[in-house]
Structure 1
Amino acid sequence: MRGFVDSLLDLVLPATCAGCDEPAARALCDPCLAALDRARPRATRPDPAPDRMPPTYALAAYAGVLQRAVVQFKEENRHELAGALGGLLGRVVDRAVAGAGAPAVAGAGAPVVLVPVPSTAAAVRRRHGDHMLRLARAAARGRPGVAIARPLRALPRRDDSAELTAAERAAAARDAFAVRLGETAALRARIERDGAVVVVLDDIVTTGVTLTAAARRLEEAGVLVHRAAVLAATQRRRGRSPAHPPAVVGRALGPRRAAVRTVAG
């Protein structure tokens, strides 16, 4: 009977923390949660950045606790992380809308519309749902005046983006999205009627080509993108780094341990 109960609990509760791989009864242990809570969203921009890339904000660098949690959520189908990661993304949205160092957006109290970068149909099947839509819903939860729109749809990808050069990624990104006419018209009407602020959401920014392509496609359809918000910004190992590197939250010390700390970026 004891073995049956333990097996049942293993199905219901995560066996390890997604941030440090230590045994835990929750998706993220208390130290990892505390480290993520201490992270302060800030502006980030790849160097070089694509032309017309929207002002972008990130919670932290794509490393340590945050990297592990994003990978576990996105690629290991740990959907229970959506609430925690989405809440953190909501904080990035708050900072992005109010943030300095970028052109001013609508006045305080203006409604905010979150536009998650869509996943391809193949990715949705592989991940048992659209991971960015999950994060967007969690980011909007408990934030009055924040809504979600889905004016974009992802077109099938012809190549694995991991195998493409930066120039090839930019070219592929330009043809990665199409607009949903009805959703786009409704979003345009909301902007005109209410002065809504549009924020494009993604999980990670590397070269900025995906965010830029999404923003351009919307702008071609008459929807101005004011900001972009992501959970993490990569710190490129070769070539130039982000112009404003965010902090690193936690660094792995081994296969089963991680130091949970914030390193100023």
Structure 2
Amino acid sequence: MLLTDLLDLVLPATCAGCDEPATGPLCGPCRAALAAVRPGRTRPVPAPPGLPPVFALAAYAGSLRRMLIQYKERNRHELTPVLGGLLAKVVAAATPDLRGSLTLVPVPATTAAARRRYGDHIDRIAQHAAGALRRRGVQAGVAGLLRALPKREDSAELSAAERARAAGQAFAVRGRRVPVGTVVLVDDIITTGSTLAASTARLAAAGVRVDRVAVLAATQRQA
């Protein structure tokens, strides 16, 4: 890694949302714009069978899209608390009548992706989201119930039906812990919904019911 790249990671000089100069992860306008966003229901068209109700912060576009790319591909880990707070807002919108405890189950990254990103990026966000929810008085925790299996094919070359079949073989359940309370499956982006539906099915087979799905961004139009 070049010294300039290292300095960008430690002391980023630009906003992750718009590339304008900033003293923190985001500039003032981007922070304000994200604070004003209200999460809502979203659903891919067509939706895969077994997909629970899905809530997203916003469309996968603009500053949010850039933030996620910067976070995942440029390893801008200083965005973790920001994205965790945004995910907490989505979870709260997905569970407005929550009574009791809440368990966030991250969709796991593959070993190769976690190695490339210096850790599982969704688990990091989920941990911060749970912390933000606890500070609001919600009994929230994170359970790593899923394990990602090595990918056998490049999903970019697959049809929608082939991607759905591949997603069904992409995860295994880790351990036999069955969380109590409301279970929310969390991820960064929803596209076709195949991964989220497959994760839900794997958990259901192990006796874990997913009540809601919360994501930061949706590539499909919101319903």
Taking structure 2 as the reference length, the TM-score comes to: 0.92
Q: Distance in 2 between matches of 1:8 and 1:47?
A: 41
SS in 1 for 2:41: strand
Shift in alpha-carbon separation, 1:45–1:11, aligned structure 2, 3 A: closer
User: Shift in Å at residue 7 of structure 1?
Assistant: 11
Equivalent pairs, count: 216
Matches within 5 A, 1:160-175: 160-175=154-169
Verify: 1:149 aligned to 2:143, yes or no. yes
Is the Cα contact below 8 Å between 1:54 and 1:226 reproduced in 2?
Answer: yes
Matches within 5 A, 1:1-265: 12-98=10-96, 108-144=98-134, 145-181=139-175, 185-186=176-177, 188=178, 190-191=179-180, 196-235=181-220, 242=221, 244=223
Shift in alpha-carbon separation, 1:171–1:14, aligned structure 2, 3 A: same
User: Shift in Å at residue 113 of structure 1?
Assistant: 0.1
Q: For structure 2, which runs of at least 5 residues remain unmatched after alignment?
A: none
Is the Cα contact below 8 Å between 2:106 and 2:144 reproduced in 1?
Answer: yes
Q: For structure 1, which runs of at least 5 residues remain unmatched after alignment?
A: 1-5, 99-106, 236-241, 245-265
> RMSD in angstroms over aligned alpha carbons?
1.8
SS in 1 for 2:58: strand
Provide, for residues 154-187 of structure 1, a one-character-per-residue CA deviation record: whole Å limited to 9, x for no partner: 0000112222221111010000000112xxx32x
Is the Cα contact below 8 Å between 2:107 and 2:186 reproduced in 1?
Answer: yes
Runs of 4+ in 1 over 4 A off after TM superposition: 6-11
SS in 2 for 1:142: helix
Q: Distance in 1 between matches of 2:32 and 2:14?
A: 17
Percent identity (aligned): 58
Shift in alpha-carbon separation, 1:25–1:109, aligned structure 2, 3 A: same
Shift in alpha-carbon separation, 1:63–1:52, aligned structure 2, 3 A: same
Instruction: Give, as a single letter, the amino acid of the residue that structure 2 aligns with 1:117.
Output: V
Q: Larger radius of gyration, structure 1 or 2?
A: 1
Is the Cα contact below 8 Å between 1:47 and 1:243 reproduced in 2?
Answer: no
SS in 1 for 2:147: strand
Provide, for residues 8-36 of structure 1, a one-character-per-residue CA deviation record: whole Å limited to 9, x for no partner: 97563212111001111111111001111
User: Shift in Å at residue 143 of structure 1?
Assistant: 2.0
Q: Distance in 1 between matches of 2:33 and 2:143?
A: 31
Instruction: Give, as a single letter, the amino acid of the residue that structure 2 aligns with 1:81.
Output: L
Q: Distance in 2 between matches of 1:25 and 1:97?
A: 34
Shift in alpha-carbon separation, 1:30–1:207, aligned structure 2, 3 A: same
Q: Distance in 2 between matches of 1:122 and 1:7?
A: 21
Taking structure 1 as the reference length, the TM-score comes to: 0.78
Q: Distance in 1 between matches of 2:9 and 2:161?
A: 44
Q: Distance in 2 between matches of 1:243 and 1:8?
A: 38
